[in-house]
Amino acid sequence: MTVKRLICVSSAGSAHARACHGELPGWDVCVVDSLAAARKVLAQQHYGVGLLLDRSDDSSDGAGDAEIERFLRQHHSMRWVGVFDAPRIDQPALRELIAAHLFDFHTRPVDTLRLQHSLGHAHGMATLAKAVPPYKRMARAGHIDGNSPAIVRLRAHIDKIAAVDAPVLISGESGSGKELAAQEIHLRSQRAGGPFIAINCAAVAPALIHSELFGHERGAFTGASRDKQGLLEAASGGSIFLDEIGDLPLDLQASLLRFLQERVIYRVGGTRTIAVDARVIAATHVNLPQAVAEGRFREDLYYRLSVFPIRVPPLRERKEDLPVLTDLIFNKYAAERSPQLKGVSREALQAMARYDWPGNVRELVNRVRRAMVLAEHRLIMPEDLDLPGAGPIVPMAEGLGSSRLSAERSAIFDSLTRSGNNISQAARDLGVSRMTLYRLMAKHSIST
């Protein structure tokens, strides 16, 4: 049987909190007496449901409500139920706070039976939405988020490559996550305790990139008033990530090749060799073999770099990961969202799955962040994402009941997607029986 866990945040005094504890049999209740204490607890443990006991006076000047709103916005993924004195409900600021952030609310004197029903309903909805949000599970698993076959293969390749101290060449479209793959290789290698230095070769002027990479001696050129360590030296003991290596000038390609062969460098204007122990991880979105054939990239450097070539798949090849990635983005930028926004609709996820994402994950981040600010409903709809081919605007019914149904439908759809339509796995993820899941699927007209 699933343990029903509840955090009770009381600014109404410890007597109210103790009374609340005694009136909620069957719940594992953690009682804290301030928002600051609640933040500490929630930073260490996950709770799907929270009970907010407001202070028992009605003389608020609004400052307390502002602090409560900041707290609820920070912990928006939980289902919160509030208890207030009846006169407080007449305050406009509190009414807005309740409408935007609370699952349900009660006024004193509290009807214990109704409170138990509210918390039970909140617990059920929290269970449907997963005890641990997908973005938190993936954040613990590593930097590369997703469970699609393409990403599973990529992580398996990275696990093998990371253990071998040799150059890596990462290919992939712009915005697909090549730097994240490079960071993952570094973090899983024996060099994880050393620095990870990144430079975009296309973003530095050709006249400066030699000095940036190799450093320079004092007096090497006008303005060189002191010795400067280059990025390769700074990465010694760790890894250096050379993004867009295909844009590296030919003369600098020769210097990089010499470093890969001899593990030493010369600073600009210098005459002494400097030993550097840095692993080179390079990335490109261009076709390097074609660049070699056209004389734009050295063939010997290409073979030196591509000891371990890997490819980061574009987003269109891993659309199964869209729900997880969207949830991660939504939670990362939660502070930017409009107050009434609670999540992403099933219709929006379906529209996203029909789109090919030429800008890859970078485009996904931009569209979701923009939708979070501009959305006017309680859930992000297809039109909020402004996706080509998203279809006409579908009116959304207003009201809490409609939002709850949408959230339930979205949670079921996401679980089925993540499990590959495996009913048993999806039911376990949702914390319900197979028969209950079948019943919910019929209710929402969801088929596998």
Q: For 226-241, write each residue's pLDDT tens digit.
A: 888 889 999 999 999 9
Q: In this predicted structure, what is the pLDDT of residue 157? A: 93
Nearest Cα residue to 279 out of 246, 250, 236: 236
Q: For 379-434, write each residue's pLDDT tens digit.
A: 999 999 988 754 444 443 334 454 456 667 767 777 776 776 778 777 777 777 77
Please report whether residue 116 resides in a domain.
yes
pLDDT confidence bin for 69, thresholds 50/70/90: confident
Are residues 345 and 245 part of one domain? no
318 neighbors 151 (Cβ within 8 angstroms): yes
Total count of domains within the chain: 3
Please report whether residue 152 resides in a domain.
no
What CATH number is attached to the domain comprising 117? 3.40.50.2300
Are residues 337 and 296 part of one domain? no
Lowest mean pLDDT among 149-158, 206-215, 359-368, 419-428: 419-428
Range of the domain at 347: 331-354+368-443
For the chain, the residue count is: 448
Of 128, 152, 176, the domain-final residue:
128
Q: For 79-128, write each residue's pLDDT tens digit.
A: 999 999 999 888 888 888 888 789 899 998 888 889 999 999 998 888 87
393 neighbors 404 (Cβ within 8 angstroms): no
Higher-confidence residue of 30 and 224: namely: 30
Given the DSSP bridges, would you call strands 4-10 and 49-53 parallel, antiparallel or unpaired?
parallel
What CATH number is attached to the domain comprising 243? 3.40.50.300
Higher-confidence residue of 427 and 358: namely: 358
Is the pLDDT at 194 greater than 60? The verdict is: yes
pLDDT confidence bin for 60, thresholds 50/70/90: very low
CA distance 4 to 24: 11
Q: In this predicted structure, what is the pLDDT of residue 391? A: 42
Are residues 265 and 182 part of one domain? yes
Residue 173: half-sphere exposure toward Cβ, Cα within 13 Å = 14
pTM higher than 0.75 = no
Are residues 176 and 115 part of one domain? no
Is the pLDDT at 265 greater than 70? The verdict is: yes
Is the pLDDT at 353 greater than 80? The verdict is: yes
222 neighbors 268 (Cβ within 8 angstroms): no
